[in-house]
Structure 1
Amino acid sequence: MKRVLVTGASGFLGRALLPVLADRGFEVHGVARSAQPSTAGMKWLAADLLTEAGRVQVLSASRPTHLVHLAWEARPGRYRDDPVNRLWAEASIDLLARARACDTSRILGIGSCLEYGPQNGLCDELASECRPTTLYGQAKLSAAEAYIAAGAAWGRVFFPFGPREPEARLIPSLIRHLRAGQNFDCSHGRQLRDFVYVEDLAQMIAAVLDSDLTRAVNLGSGEPRSLRSVVEHVADRLRARHLVRFGAIDATGVDAEPIIATDIRRLREVAAGVPMIGFEAGAGRALAWWIDRLSGRA
């Protein structure tokens, strides 16, 4: 029996990943800070992974053959420079060592495109120099180096979106403003980003976990889009482009970087045959979910 331990399982990405892993035949053990009701094929563990006791507890209770480490500080508006990033790096490296000690055969840590820092083109796992400018990116990179040195895989996530995404992020915030008939102020929107639908991202993570791929692997769509085109796509679906005010605010820091997008040749080695939903269909699903939620139906 393949038993997978998923940290951060109650989060935006974790919730999408769990059923994908179950469909691949894994017995799934999810970790969250608070207790969750277990179901057939899915067991929940409550633990604080920033404590040694919490890490020991979840590994002892699940005895995993596989580990996907998602848990980290990710709240919009604070995660990039929160000092807790250093604690998460230390906890992640300790979790790695303890998982290896209890014979976990396959380990996948989940990182971020912010590990790369400013680039002039697509991020390449083997060729791009990592020069992160945020504490979040620096802490993720320090954990990545430990995981890669130990022979594990490390997935660098780009810009996920979809149902249940934190409300303060771009697409949910845009939908909420336009549905309320409010102006939406944003930057010029020429920045290129790699948006990946959350269910597609879950499929990518599962494919990497179920493979022999090691070292860093980029997790994205491989299709750079301007922020302006993303905003206009959603606004047009709501017939509210007139409420969007491009150039009303200045982009600063990471948000001002001209391009954060990925080369996905390594990912294609293991995920080429996996069906993907894609941006347009994913945006439609996300919009429908948020409309239901704002109408009180979700």
Structure 2
Amino acid sequence: MKRALVTGASGFIGRALVPVLRDRGFEVHGVARAPQPAMAGVTWHMADLLSGAGRADVLSASRPTHLVHLAWEARPGRYREDPVNRLWADASIDLLASAKACGTKRMLGIGSCLEYGPQAGLCEESSPCRPTTLYGQAKLGAAEAYIAASAAWGRVFFPFGPHEPEQRLVPSLIRRLSAGEAFDCSHGAQLRDFVYVDDLAHMIAAVLDSDLTGAVNLASGTPRSLRSVIEHFADRLDARPLVRFGAIAATGVDAEPIIAAEIGRLRSVTAGVPVIGFEAGADRDLAWWVDRLAAKA
């Protein structure tokens, strides 16, 4: 029996990943800090993964053959420079060592495109990493430990979809335009690699279920301008006049001309994996948020 322990299973990416792993024949164990509603095929464990005792307890209770480590500080507006990133890096490295010691055979840590720092073109796994945020630096520190241990490390680019934190770009855009309010943003020429969260879940599962080790980009491989993404949603809502490009100055990471991925390594393990894609994913995402907003109203 393949038994997967998923940290951060109740989060944005984790809740999309759990059913995909279940469909691949995994017995799934999820970790969360607070009690979770019942989910078919998932055994929940409450633990504080920043605590050594919490990490030891959940590994002892679940005895995983496979580990997907998603948990980290990810709150919009806070995560990039929060000092807790250093604690998460230390905890992630200890979790790796502890899982290996208790017999876990396959380990996949989830990192970020912000590990790369400024690049002139597409990010390749061999590209030099020069992160400019504490978040990117801490993730890179954990990545180096996972890669040295012959584990896999997935660098996520720009996921979107249902259950995304409301303060992020797409949900905040939908909320404001649906309310008939103006949406202020930067010039929008920046190129980014957006990936629908269900597609991302299948990518993560495929990497976990493979023998691939080292860093691997988890992305669509298709750069899109922020302007084109914003206009796509605005057009679906018939609200393009409400978007005010150039009203906000882009700074720091947000000003980088391109953050997008080369995905040759990913493609080596995802043949036959279903892909929803940006357009269909955007339509599903919009429908989900519109229903959610209607329910709140």
TM-score by length of 2: 0.99
**Which residue identity is paired with 1:254?**
V
| 1:211 to 1:255, Cα distance in 2 relative to 1, 3 A | same
SS of corresponding position for 1:4? strand
Counterpart of 1:183 in structure 2 is: 182
Deviation for aligned residue 1:272: 2.2
Counterpart of 2:213 in structure 1 is: 214
**Range moving further from structure 2, 208-217 or 38-47:** 38-47
8 Å Cα contact 1:37/1:44 also seen in 2: no
Please give the root-mean-square deviation of Cα atoms over the aligned residues, in Å: 1.0
2: CA distance, partners of 1:272 / 1:157: 19
SS of corresponding position for 1:218? strand
Deviation for aligned residue 1:281: 0.3
**Which residue identity is paired with 2:46?**
A
TM-score by length of 1: 0.98
**Which residue identity is paired with 1:190?**
A
SS of corresponding position for 2:155? strand
The within-5 A match list for 1:276-287 is 276-287=275-286
Could you tell me the percent identity over the aligned residues? 80
Deviation for aligned residue 1:36: 1.9
Counterpart of 1:166 in structure 2 is: 165
The within-5 A match list for 1:65-76 is 65-76=65-76
Counterpart of 1:274 in structure 2 is: 273
Structure 1, unaligned runs of 5 or more = none
1: CA distance, partners of 2:284 / 2:185: 23
| 1:57 to 1:282, Cα distance in 2 relative to 1, 3 A | same
8 Å Cα contact 1:89/1:140 also seen in 2: yes
| 1:137 to 1:279, Cα distance in 2 relative to 1, 3 A | same
2: CA distance, partners of 1:18 / 1:81: 29
2: CA distance, partners of 1:113 / 1:86: 18
2: CA distance, partners of 1:42 / 1:90: 27
Counterpart of 1:9 in structure 2 is: 9
- Equivalenced residues, count: 297
Deviation for aligned residue 1:37: 3.9
Structure 2, unaligned runs of 5 or more = none
1: CA distance, partners of 2:173 / 2:14: 24
Deviation for aligned residue 1:273: 1.5
Deviation for aligned residue 1:38: 4.2
